[in-house]
Amino acid sequence: MKIEKQFLTEMNRCYSANSIVVDGQTRIMLATEGEGPCLAWAGPDYSASHTVWEGPGGTMSIAPIPGTNGEFLAVQKFFKMFQWEEAKVVHVRPLSAGGYEVTDILHLPYIHRFDLLTVGGRHYFIGCTLATTKDSKEDWSNPGKIWVGEFTGVGPLKLEVLKDGLTKNHGFSRLTRNGEVCALVTCEQGAFEVTPPQTPGAEWSVEQFMDWPISDISAVDIDSDGELEFATIEPFHGTYFRIYKKIDGVFKKVFEHPEVTEFYHVVVGATLAGTPVFIGGCRRGKQQLFYVYASSSAPLELRAEVIEEGVGPSNIYVLHEEKRDIIVSANREKAEAALYFVS
């Protein structure tokens, strides 16, 4: 596997990464969790940037709206380690004359992760609040919640609480399995699989499948045996990057990254050059961006390869293009936005 890096720009507290397609052209986006901008780079060479917004910043998540010409939703004003009462979701629309129209659609204190899950052409919003209120960085006495609702693109976004009592409600990832899409949500209580309504007017479902403190999670069939494996960061902003496989109906740990240090923050299941992998990253210690792959499936043997050290990624996004894959990386601790081309 060949990996080449492309530096994009310096960005203080670089945090969120995603992409949209406008008029058939891919635009990669990265945004800061501090006060500052969201920037975009257009393909195919991603050499020049333009500004999506100058501020306010505080962007935890970005989610493209399927079926549109590059429209997306994003979190803004999620600042500091507490006092996130002003956090909100905005709707962003690229303009034909250039620039972007940004419209507030939801005020939801402590909204951290969210996504749009599409079923039968309907878009369902799922948002996770890290907490409900906080008096200090260490105060976790008011747990977070899962909020859901249908996104129609018309008027304010109306939500209801699907589940509450989720302490340190931090982890979120989308999972498509057997053609059905769901979300994985993690917190101190464990991991939950959340499935949107399959028909109009039907109910959401929530199923717990792990019961120990988990900060973040993702899934991929890393050994190509037809069953998903799950990679986790444990506990909150955790010291361990682990991979679990279900054996005889029980989740068993089959890999643990050799570096034990605080603030693992990246865990993404994906394919790179056709190989299923888990991509990981840590914001302390060696501050590595790395991937884990199966060097042997029978017996199962997993190995980690370093992509780059000393970058401290906060989040990554994997983009698949013809003849190459791209890891879009928010290298927060190095204060940079970067691409890693994989072939």
Name residues whose C-beta falls within 8 Å of residue 8's C-beta, 6 or more positions apart in sequence. Answer: 30, 39, 41, 46, 49, 336, 337, 338, 339
Q: Is the pLDDT of residue 83 over 70?
A: no
Tokens of 109: 């204190």
- Tell me how many helices (H) and strands (E) the chain has: 0, 28
CA distance 27 to 39: 10
Q: With H, G, I as helix, E, B as strand and everything else as coil, classify residue 269.
A: strand
Least confident range of 49-58, 76-85, 174-183, 305-314: 76-85
Strands 88-94 and 122-129 turn out to be unpaired
Instruction: Give the N- to C-terminal CA distance of the chain in Å, as an integer.
Output: 6
Q: Rounded to whole angstroms, how far apart are CA atoms 91 and 156?
A: 10
Q: What is the pLDDT of residue 270?
A: 98
User: What is each CA distance from 13 to 78, 86, 189, 289, 336, in whole angstroms?
Assistant: 13, 19, 29, 16, 8
Residue reference for tokens 């498509």? 176
pLDDT at residue 288, as a whole number: 98
Helix (H) or strand (E) holding 257: none
Query: Is 84's pLDDT higher than 80?
Result: no
Largest pairwise CA distance in the chain = 58
Using alpha carbons, list the distances in angstroms from residue 328 to 72, 262, 280: 17, 23, 13
Would you say residue 243 has pLDDT above 80? yes
- Least confident segment among 88-97, 153-162, 197-206: 153-162
Q: What is the pLDDT of residues 193-239, one digit of tens each?
A: 999 999 999 999 999 999 999 999 999 999 999 999 999 999 999 99
Q: What is the pLDDT of residues 260-304, one digit of tens each?
A: 999 999 999 999 999 999 999 999 999 999 999 999 988 999 999
- pLDDT, tens digit (0-9, with 9 covering 90-100), for 113-157: 999 999 999 999 999 999 999 888 889 999 999 999 999 997 788
Tokens of 211: 């019961």
Spatial strand order in the sheet of 205-210: 171-177, 180-187, 190-195, 205-210
The pLDDT mean for the chain works out to 96
138's CB contacts (< 8 A; 6+ apart) are: none
How many Cβ atoms are within 10 Å of 87's Cβ, its own excluded?
Answer: 22
Q: What is the pLDDT of residue 81?
A: 60
334 — phi, psi (to 5°)?
-95, 0
Mean pLDDT of 304-326: 98
Residues near 96 by Cβ (< 8 Å), separated by ≥ 6?
Answer: none
| Residue 330: pLDDT over 70 | yes
Domains annotated on the chain, with CATH: 215-343 (2.130.10.10)
Burial of 72 (0-12, 13-18, 19+ CB in 10 A): buried
| pLDDT the model gives residue 297 | 85
**pLDDT of 242 strictly over 80:** yes
How large is the average pLDDT for residues 175-179? 93
DSSP secondary structure letters along 93-115: EE-TTSSEEEEEEEE-TTEEEEE
Q: In the predicted model, what is the mean pLDDT of residues 21-42?
A: 97
Give the Cα separation of 63 and 132 in Å (integer): 22
> What average pLDDT does this structure show over 89-93?
97
Beta-bridge partners for 319: 326
CA-CA distance, 283 to 281, in Å (whole number)? 7
Q: What are phi and psi of 277, to 5 degrees?
A: -145, 165
pLDDT at 135: 86
Are the C-beta atoms of residues 229 and 216 closer than 8 Å to each other? Answer: no
pLDDT of 82 over the 70 cut: no
